[in-house]
Amino acid sequence: MIKKCLFPAAGYGTRFLPVTKAMPKEMLPIVSKPLIQYGVEEALSAGMTQMAIVTGRGKRAIEDHFDISYELEQQIKGSDKESRLAEIRSIIQQCTFSYTRQIEMKGLGHAILCGQTLIGNEPFAVILADDLCDNPDGENVLAQMARVYERYRCSVVAIEEVAMSEVSKYGVISGKEIDERIFMVDNMIEKPKESEAPSNLAVIGRYILTPDIFEILRHTPPGKNGEIQITDALLAQCKSGMVLAYKFCGKRYDCGSVSGFVEATNEFYAKYH
Ligand code: UTP
């Protein structure tokens, strides 16, 4: 039912400098596939075919990746190397890609608002490609969330339990568990101090949002770190309606941090190669 998936990919990726100086963080490979391709594959197998990507300066490689490379393809035609392009070719055939630029990096909430021009007035998914999710024995995380959306028809955020010492890195929710793995959100704080955190349930980089979020974002003032925070907009949405948090099945790797990236690389190499 949800057809569009938005990928905010305009951030600077400063934790990976110098590699992200001229190369997008989303193009960092886990073994031989860039992070954003894993995200697109997840969205596609959750039934979404229209990929909307918010980019910024220095992100051209993302557009080139989801396109044909005639010279290269001609060069390897007929060789066994051709099979290495099978997955990306199939993605390009099945999906459309549209792009817009975030001119100033004013935060994740602002990046999502920039995506309105690509999304329009319909519910949509959001993937932060640097959160790599894997659930080899079942449905992928976005597909699980799409099912929750279909049942409740409101915004849904993915959550996981983290150590209390880690809560200050995340948006943190509190709420009542209304069904297995599903919480009705009653509070949400961006990067709280341990002493101020309402729980240890941290929001990770998967969302399903209803389009009224755009109007809310337009009126959301800068919050933590002077950035327009999606957490603040979702709190407003939950006060005026309903937002659910879904404790997903599977494992998430924080590939926006060097240690999470190395862990994902090692585990994916052992599991899939
Ligand atoms: P991060 O907090 O991981 O920031 O953003 P970052 O800039 O990418 O990385 P570091 O912290 O400097 O290493 C979370 C997500 O939101 C996007 C990022 O691209 C990432 O997917 N984002 C963030 C934007 O698109 N625009 C922004 O202004 C901020």
3 state SS for the chain: CCCEEEEECCCCCHHHCCCCCCCCHHHCEECCEEHHHHHHHHHHHCCCCEEEEEECCCCHHHHHHCCCCHHHHHHHCCCHHHHHHHHHHHHHHHCEEEEEECCCCCCHHHHHHHCHHHHCCCCEEEECCCEEEECCCCCCHHHHHHHHHHHHCCEEEEEEECCHHHHHHCEEEEEEEEECCEEEEEEEEECCCHHHCCCCEEEEEEEEECCHHHHHHHCCCCCHHHCCCHHHHHHHHHHHCCEEEEECCCEEEECCCHHHHHHHHHHHHHHHC
Q: Is 256 in the pocket of ligand 1 (CB under 6 A)?
A: yes
Q: Is 130 in the pocket of ligand 1 (CB under 6 A)?
A: yes
Is 90 exceeded by the pLDDT of residue 80? Answer: no
Listed in sequence order, the residues at least 6 apart from 15 whose beta carbon sits closer than 8 Å to its beta carbon are 256, 257, 258
Structure tokens at 183: 């919480």
Q: Is 109 in the pocket of ligand 1 (CB under 6 A)?
A: no
130, 220, 229, 230: residue to mutate for ligand 1 pocket, most atoms within 8 A of CB:
130
Which ligand 1 atom lies nearest to the CA of residue 9? Answer: 19
Region 49-59 average pLDDT: 94
Cα separation, 64 vs 36, whole angstroms: 12
- pLDDT tens digits, 204-243: 999 999 999 999 999 999 999 999 999 999 999 999 999 9
Q: Residue 199 Cα, ligand 1 centroid: separation in angstroms?
A: 24
Q: What residue owns the CA closest to ligand 1's atom 16?
A: 108
- pLDDT tens digits, 247-269: 999 999 999 999 999 999 999 99
Q: What is the pLDDT of residue 240?
A: 94
Contact criterion met (CB below 8 Å) for 124 and 98: no
Structure tokens at 1: 């039912």
More confident call, 255 vs 83? 255
Longest dimension (CA), the chain: 61
Which ligand 1 atom lies nearest to the CA of residue 227? Answer: 28
Q: Is 210 in the pocket of ligand 1 (CB under 6 A)?
A: no
Is 90 exceeded by the pLDDT of residue 273? Answer: no
Region 123-144 average pLDDT: 97
Distances (CA, A) of 128 to 83, 108, 132, 158: 28, 10, 8, 12
Q: Is 35 in the pocket of ligand 1 (CB under 6 A)?
A: no
Q: What is the pLDDT of residue 73?
A: 85
More confident call, 86 vs 212? 212
Q: What is the pTM of this model?
A: 0.96
Is 90 exceeded by the pLDDT of residue 156? Answer: yes
Q: Residue 85 Cα, ligand 1 centroid: separation in angstroms?
A: 28
108, 116, 132: residue to mutate for ligand 1 pocket, most atoms within 8 A of CB:
108
Is 90 exceeded by the pLDDT of residue 83? Answer: no
Which ligand 1 atom lies nearest to the CA of residue 104? Answer: 28
